[in-house]
Structure 1
Amino acid sequence: MELADRAVGFVLSAISLSIFSYYTFWIVILPFVDTGHFVHNYFLPREYAVLLPVYIGVTLMCFVSVFIGYAMLKSKKKKA
């Protein structure tokens, strides 16, 4: 089981590092690259650099709120 946990941890770390690198390059370095350069073909427009994290954050907060509400309702039923 320890080997599987290490493999999962490695995969999650690799995914997180690649997303962080992509986003950092997109936000920090890409504005200094000429607009006609081929590297711009691999990235979404800059407006999405703000919209995607906001959308993901709102969605995550909604799921957390629903989970907390469900847990509170379930615990209330146990007491009654």
Structure 2
Amino acid sequence: MLILASFVFLYYTIWTLLMPFVDEKHPLQSLFPPRVWAIRIPVILLLLGGAVVGSFLSVVMIRSNRKKAAKKAKEAKAK
């Protein structure tokens, strides 16, 4: 995991910080996507990550409220 994370960090760093100074026709440019994706990819990942975290929290909160409601209904029925 650490090796993969290090590779991704180095690749992205080179892509965003060094490649703008390399000539457009240089063969190294073929190893990287267009520069506009340097912004799009992190934005897409942040939106997807936020959606996943938000969905998870929503499901947990809904289940918790259902359990509380069932417990209250059981207590009311017992009285």
TM-score range, shorter chain: 0.7 to 0.9
Q: Which residue of 2 aligns with 1:31?
A: 20
Show structure 1 runs of 4+ deviating over 4 A: none
Q: Which residue of 2 aligns with 1:74?
A: 63
- What RMSD in Å do the two structures reach over aligned CA positions? 0.5
Distance (Å, rounded) in 2 between the aligned partners of 1:43 and 1:70: 39
Q: Which runs of 5+ in 1 are unaligned?
A: 1-11
Q: TM-score, normalised by structure 1?
A: 0.84
Q: Percent identity?
A: 33
Report the Cα offset of residue 20 of structure 1.
0.2
Q: Which of 56, 62, 70 is the equivalent residue of 2:45?
A: 56
Q: Number of paired residues?
A: 69
Q: TM-score, normalised by structure 2?
A: 0.86
Q: Which residue of 1 aligns with 2:76?
A: none
Q: Which runs of 5+ in 2 are unaligned?
A: 70-79
Larger Rg, first or second structure (1 or 2): 2
Q: Which residue of 2 aligns with 1:7?
A: none
RCO higher in structure (CA 8 A, sep ≥6): 1
SS at match of 1:46: coil
